[in-house]
Chain A
Amino acid sequence: MSENKPESGPTVNPRVTWEGCSVLLDINDGDRLVFARLSAGSTLKIGNKTFSLQPLIGCPFGSLFQVESGKEKPYLSRFIPPTEENNVQDEGGCQLQEESRDNRAIIDNNQAQSLTGDDIDAMRREGATGNEIVEALIANSATFDKKTQFSQEKYRLKKQKKYAPRVLLRRPFSRSICEAYFKKYPARIGFLRVDALSLLLSMANVTANSDVLVLDMVGGLVIGAVAERLGGTGSVCNTYLGGKPYPMEIIRMFNFNNEICKRVLRCSVNDLCAVQNETSEQVSQHEDVCTMDSQSDEKISLSVSTEEVHLSYKNGVSDLVPENELSTTGKTCKTPKAGEKAPKEAIQSWKENGFSSLIIAAPEQDAWSLVKDLLPLLTYSAPFAIYHQYLQPLATCMNNLQLEKMAIGLQLSEPWLREYQVLPSRTHPCMQMSGSGGYILSGTRAYSNTSQS
């Protein structure tokens, strides 16, 4: 593949949103995650209200927004949280030593709060901000002062989330996309947890200028993550069994520029394995079938992706259909397409040089039957990493690779990940934990005299 000098600087890593970009909205500190595409018409629903996302365009990623009551209706407004005042921490320190309160006298009978729902609505109509409502609730709670300091903080946070929800504007990256999917729709990504994904990328030595062969049946998440690491150099070959590529709707979340999209190519396993003479004929035959199929596939996968976000906002449909919508309205920001059919020169180059590494993420398939066909396409000493939800298929695969002497340095591993809550006097591992992120078989292709080039 030609090694063009990739785009450098801000365009590779934009830190400010633009019209048409894909974003991840984090509502109330991780409680809810929504993917969206920013445009004048896109909206977000929180509770029973709908908010326009227009204020988010042109803001830096990482900006925080809070619901504010406007003249006509509530809107999202840019919010800069006050930096933690030192006296709060000091106060906390003092009180920790004096904390004598506990909950022995607090009875949970739902009668502590004297403000009613109607009172709160009235306050809203008069233009009270979310924070003012929260303070009013605290003032009108009979049991608030009796609570321990920790309990008070928890109470305040809970009320704030309900009456003054906050939205954090996040940049979609492999990390945030994987975490969001793992939380919301783990089955779509085959329960591939973010640490397992990171291991796949490392173990397969994904780096600039490499030619990575990927068999991705997890919605395109792995292809996207690989393309991100290539940064507009090298190539990713999205391969698939049969005649139709697997859906890769997740790639659209990444905000890839043209240069990166160009590097994501697709080619069926048959075409990759075919002998040179046959290739050209088969390729042209396949081409027609593939383009038609992939177009219909795309429509299907597009509606799938709009559906999932549709759960959260109404105008979703128009915002997630990139080319059709944009071309009819004549907007200049056209979303570049990744996953074009690999041209003959690319296939030729891959065959001559071999791929520099292989990643397989096919959680429902038998690993050995895939590896058998794909490993010979790798150059010698190329690393590979195979992800599976279940241990057994990888164990069998590992055993076969050893018997056939196809690989060395074989390792079957399972990542374990635990998060901690770190707060003064309240540090401990989190109560909830992910039980499994899948298994990974990794190794290096070995050269033996019987191997065919």
Chain B
Amino acid sequence: MLLMDSSTKISFNRCIRDGDLVIVYERHDTMKAVKVCENSVLQNRFGVFKHSDWIGKPFGSKVFSNKGGFVYLLAPTPELWTLVLSHRTQILYIADISFVIMYLEVVPGCLVLESGTGSGSLTTSFARAVSPMGHVYTFDFHEQRAASAREDFERTGISTLVTVGVRDIQGDGFPDQFSGLADSVFLDLPQPWLAIPSARNMLKQDGTLCSFSPCIEQVQRSCETLRSDFTDIRTLEILLRMYEVREWKMDHSKVDDGNSTACPPRKRRQPSSEASVGDNASSPAVMARPSAETRGHTGYLTFARKCVS
């Protein structure tokens, strides 16, 4: 997924190959990750698609089924991956993910510690941000989920950047080997205040920490614990509001009963100009309106910096 070297980089000259991971795009809300395999097929409501038809075509191509239906084949990115990955746990979405990465000041070369791994949605974006010289160490106390995450990172080609450990961070803290080495720590735990003292030990001076919690009580408790060794403590929430766009041909034509008493008196009548705007009627207008349904809350993001001593 990541552009680690020129062979994986998307370009005009790089076509789909056997073994590539592609994102099959049916509609903006219907996508699926598929590994291209020469002898395989994809079956969906549009028909049967032969993988062999895909090989040799550029990413972004439109491909057809035996019934004439079509889908697009896209190159995977962390954003697309977040939308197609299998949810073993509730995941973070792009608004929170992008804000966390920016606010934690994660740049190439950083060492990031994370717990819990969950479904690896945020982890994938961390990997992108620290590439190519940095590393993400992520921990989850659930052995099976950790294994599934490892598999996913192999599939998406980021396993050289991510190490998954099975560990109860709330109970045991982060491993001592990382003391004083972490640029950033991210916590998505039910009781993050139990992990904060350990996070403090892991962080470099002025290192950044973020804790994601759905409930305000968790936030209050975390902030109390942060006050001893952290500064610049800030809690925010971010949401993304979508808009729908539509072309609407507005009808400007005047109603054809000029004799009606309902019409206002027309003292200054300029028939010529009226006619030019008027009866031929339609001028298309593009209009936007907010989507009717939107997410109300994901979680509170609490950020802090480790005090400099």
Interface residues of A (CB under 8 A from B): 3, 6, 8-9, 12-13, 15, 60-64, 80-81, 83-84, 89, 168, 171, 173-175, 194-195, 197-199, 201-203, 205, 207-210, 228-234, 352-354, 356, 379-383, 391-392, 394-396, 398-399, 408-420, 422-424, 427, 439, 444-448, 453
Contact = CB atoms under 8 A, between A and B. Distances in A.
A411 B75 CA distance: 18
A198 B109 CA distance: 19
> Interface range on chain B: under 10, 10 to 19, 20 to 34, or 35 or more?
35 or more
A207 B131 CA distance: 7
Contact of A12 (B11, B13, B107): B107
Interface of B: 2-6, 9-13, 25, 28, 58-62, 72-75, 77-79, 94-95, 97-99, 101-103, 105, 107-110, 125, 128-129, 131-133, 183, 204-206, 216, 219-220, 223-224, 227-229, 231-245, 247, 286-288, 290, 300, 302, 305-309
Q: Is the interface of B mostly helix, strand, loop or mixed?
A: mixed
Contacts of A89: 224, 227
Contacts of B309: 80
B236 A420 contact: yes
B109 A13 contact: yes
A380 B60 contact: yes
B167 to A, nearest CB: 26
A201 B243 contact: no
Contacts of B305: 62
B219 A399 contact: no
B108 A15 contact: no
Contacts of A399: 245, 247, 286
A62 B309 CA distance: 9
Contacts of A198: 98-99, 101-103
B241 A447 contact: no
A416 B247 CA distance: 26
15 contacts: A13-B107, A63-B308, A202-B101, A207-B3, A209-B2, A209-B9, A231-B133, A356-B9, A356-B11, A379-B11, A395-B245, A399-B247, A417-B99, A444-B60, A447-B62
B108 A233 contact: yes
Contacts of A382: 10, 60
A61 B231 CA distance: 13
Contacts of B244: 412
B3 A410 contact: no
A394 B59 CA distance: 26
Given A13-B107, A81-B307, A424-B220, A381 B95 contact: no
Contact of A409 (B28, B110, B290): B28
Given A80-B309, A198-B98, A203-B94, A411 B286 contact: no
A394 B132 CA distance: 34
Listed from nearest, the 10 A-B pairs whose CB atoms lie closest are A231-B108, A380-B60, A62-B206, A381-B60, A353-B11, A198-B102, A202-B98, A381-B59, A395-B288, A447-B60
Contacts of B237: 417-418, 420
